[in-house]
Amino acid sequence: MITSEWFPYTSHTDDLITIADSLGLELSHPSNSGPIRFADNSRDTNSVIDLVFLPLGNTGFGQHMLYSEIHKPSDHIPLIIEIGIREINTDINIWSIKKDSKEEKDFITLLVRGVQSLNISAIRSKANLETLVQQLASVFKNT
């Protein structure tokens, strides 16, 4: 729940609460407190105007931190959050052709023929160019 300790209640506060709730988000409170915006003149006060919203329960997310010591030259300080990434096994297939092989020469020959078959003289409009780009993509995919 968003509280007035983070920003004053205005007519937009209810809208912000409704939007955050509808997205399954909650306001994150930093692990260290302090202003997020440093006033650039003596009439204004330092304030907290930047907010961080995270998924309810914060699974995989750490609490965000304020880094006031590195805010210059901006009047805002960085808000940094640690996101945990689980280590999982991912199968990766890599397709390759051995350099200087017959397969490489055949691939290049087919690719050159496909590119040469494209009609580049028809490029007279954005639509023609987009069609040509799609045809070029098909040449690469089919080769």
Rounded to a whole number, what is the distance in angstroms from the first to the last CA of the chain?
Answer: 56
Q: What is the DSSP track for 78-91?
A: -EE--B--------
Q: CB within 8 A of 142, min separation 6: which ones?
A: 114
Q: Would you state the pLDDT for residue 107?
A: 92
pLDDT, tens digit (0-9, with 9 covering 90-100), for 99-119: 999 999 999 999 999 999 998
- Of residues 18 and 61, more confidently modeled: 18
Could you give the percent of the chain with pLDDT greater than 70? 67
CA atoms within 13 A on the CB side of 106: 6
3-state secondary structure of 24: coil
Query: Residue 82 in contact with residue 28, Cβ under 8 Å?
Result: no
Query: Residue 79 in contact with residue 30, Cβ under 8 Å?
Result: yes
Residue 16 has pLDDT above 90, yes or no: no
Alpha-carbon distance of 62 to 5, in angstroms, equals: 21
Query: Residue 77 in contact with residue 66, Cβ under 8 Å?
Result: yes
If you average pLDDT over every residue of the chain, what do you get?
Answer: 77
pLDDT, tens digit (0-9, with 9 covering 90-100), for 50-104: 677 878 776 667 677 776 677 566 666 777 777 777 777 667 788 889 999 999 9
pLDDT, tens digit (0-9, with 9 covering 90-100), for 28-58: 777 777 666 666 666 666 555 667 787 877 6
Q: What is the mean pLDDT of residues 7-12?
A: 63
Is the CA virtual torsion 119, 120, 125, 130 positive or negative? positive
Q: Would you state the pLDDT for residue 110?
A: 93
Alpha-carbon distance of 123 to 101, in angstroms, equals: 36
Where residue 136 falls among pLDDT bands split at 50, 70, 90?
A: very high
Alpha-carbon distance of 22 to 27, in angstroms, equals: 13
Q: Would you state the pLDDT for residue 7?
A: 55
Q: Would you state the pLDDT for residue 3?
A: 45
